[in-house]
Amino acid sequence: MRKLKLQVQISMDGFIAGTAGEMDWLLFNWSDDLKAYVAAITEPVDTILLGRALAEGFIPYWTAAYLGEQFVEGAKKFVETPKIVFSKSLYEASWENTTLNSGELATEINALKQLEGADMIVYGGGKFVSSLLKDQLIDELHLFINPTILGRGMPIFSEITGKQTYKLLASQSFDCGIVVLTYQST
């Protein structure tokens, strides 16, 4: 069965964005060791899952990075990997290599896991990731803890209504100051 991984940058107090969606606190100047880590976890991925809100920034950014004159590491993988955008409000995908899915989230994710193929990865988007976590659809969490406390912001654990347990697979600090905690659902 295919595995669904989450890669998300969060603050030390568990937020993925500020109260108004600001992300100016994220470390984007990643060290080479963190870049290698990201390459390793995305290598076995053949599908990217996104919520509509994140897709509207993610896909155009990586497409421009891939087609632009200045090389951006990872752009080729993010552009060439098929993407599925989950949305109830979009009726047509305007992005290449992208399909839309408006079905019931748990049913659709579980069906995708049963298909032949490699791992899938999901990237942030507070409501989308919260829903996936609530329904325990994510098999492996890669939490990129930034050395910042926000106090208030957009959480990713807000939809969870009951206890969930995970097994720590690894914890690793990187030269840029980010610590990655990797958990597996139990």
- pLDDT of 158: 86
User: Other C-beta atoms within 10 Å of 149: how many?
Assistant: 12
Mean pLDDT of 12-27: 92
Sorted by sequence, the CB contacts under 8 Å of residue 109 that are 6+ apart come out as 4, 49, 132, 135, 137
- pLDDT of 7: 96
Amino acid at 183: Y
Domain regions of the chain by residue span: 4-185
User: Rounded to an integer, what distance in angstroms lies between the CA atom of residue 46 and that of residue 97?
Assistant: 12
- On the CB side of 136, CA atoms within 13 Å amount to 9
- pLDDT of 102: 93
Crossing angle of helices 105-114 and 126-134, in 10° steps, is: 70
- pLDDT of 43: 93
Q: Chain-wide mean pLDDT for the chain?
A: 92
User: Taking 90 as the threshold, does the pLDDT of residue 185 lie above it?
Assistant: yes
pTM of the model: 0.92
- On the CB side of 142, CA atoms within 13 Å amount to 21
User: Rounded to an integer, what distance in angstroms lies between the CA atom of residue 87 and that of residue 105?
Assistant: 10
CATH level 3 topology of 4-185: Dihydrofolate Reductase, subunit A (3.40.430)
